[in-house]
Amino acid sequence: MAPQESLLKTYGDRSYRHVTMARHQGTTIAFAMDSTRRIVYSVLDMSGQHAKGDIDTAYWSGNPAEPAFPREIAEVGFAVVGATAMPTVKRGGAEAGADERPLPGEIDPYLSTTARLTADAPFHVISDGTYVVVLRQSVGETDPGAVYKLTGGGCSRDASRGDYVLSGAKKVPLVRDTRCATGSCSSTGSSSPSWRCGSSAADTPPAPSRPRTTWAPRTWRAARSTSRPRSCPSSGT
């Protein structure tokens, strides 16, 4: 093992595309988006420093975890309208019917939440000292993950439905290349932060994307730094 390898925490369980970090209440949290547009996070938990030694890599989460995304979304500036519920999608991809009540284990946690609205693009994470918020760009209206507004409220992608809101002859998407502010965690004192569900979308053109990073196209690493936070993502080789 090369000397620098001992300072790197590598997650090679999947192919990663985009990486970012946030410092929240004195704790460093690293986030990454994989090739299937799923966002995961890892926490640098230094609370038991002497128990694991002096090398940072021992204090990152053993495995990245997916934050719990909400099952509804609200459009900024339209509070009177209320939030729109995402469709319940069963494992396998079929939407549950109006009279169906799938068991929790039968529900696809990705397709049934606003996680499915995440575009393959760089994203940001910020902390105000109380909450961590994930800022991401949404998919476009033709994306396979897009859903469309229903006349009675809610949204769907079920091609057999005839109750979609139309603009001319086209179905109106729930989001369309908009910015989404999603989820937050109130404390990060351990490797399993407590995530609160909340999601909103701003119907404005997204800011110009920052240059795509070249960090860890197939693996995700964290490396030691000379000042706190002591670790940060590093490129793979």
pLDDT score of 232: 36
Residue 13 has a CB neighbour count (10 Å cut-off) of 12
**Stronger pLDDT, 182 or 179, i.e. the higher one:** 179
Are 43 and 27 a contacting pair, CB within 8 Å?
A: yes
The 3 state secondary structure assigned to the chain is CCHHHHHEEEECCCCEEEEEEEEECCEEEEEEEECCCCEEEEEECCCCHHHHCCCHHHHECCCCECCCCCCEEEECCCCCCCCEECCCEECCCCECCCCCCCCHHHECCCCCCHHHHECCCCCEEEECCCCEEEEEEECCCCCCCCCEEECCCCEECCCCCCCECEECCEECECCCCCEEEEEEECCCCCCCCCEEEEEEEECCCCCCCCCCCCCCCCCEEEEECCCCCCEEEECCC
Does position 217 have pLDDT exceeding 90, yes or no? Answer: no
Distance of alpha carbon 42 from alpha carbon 29, whole angstroms: 6
> What is the C-alpha separation between 142 and 232, in angstroms, rounded?
35
Measure the CA–CA gap between 23 and 43, rounded to whole angstroms.
10
Give the model's pLDDT for residue 152: 93
Residue 114 has pLDDT above 70, yes or no: yes
Write down the domain spans for the chain: 13-234
User: Would the pLDDT of 122 be above 90?
Assistant: yes
Kindly state the average pLDDT of the residues 193-217: 42
Q: Among residues 181, 137, 176, which one has the least CA distance to residue 155?
A: 176
Nearest CA-CA partner of 183 in 2, 29, 8, 7:
29
Q: Which residues pair with 125 in a beta bridge?
A: 134
pLDDT of the residue at 191: 42
Q: How far is it, in rounded angstroms, from Cα 124 to Cα 146? A: 21
User: Contact at 8 Å (CB) between 161 and 57?
Assistant: no
Q: What is the mean pLDDT of the chain?
A: 78
Please tell me the least confidently modeled range out of 9-23, 66-80, 142-156, 185-199.
185-199
Question: Could you tell me the pTM of the whole model?
Answer: 0.77
**pLDDT tens, 66-110?**
988 889 888 876 555 678 999 999 999 999 998 899 999 999 999
Weakest-pLDDT range from 83-87, 127-131, 154-158 = 127-131
Check whether 157 has a pLDDT greater than 90.
yes
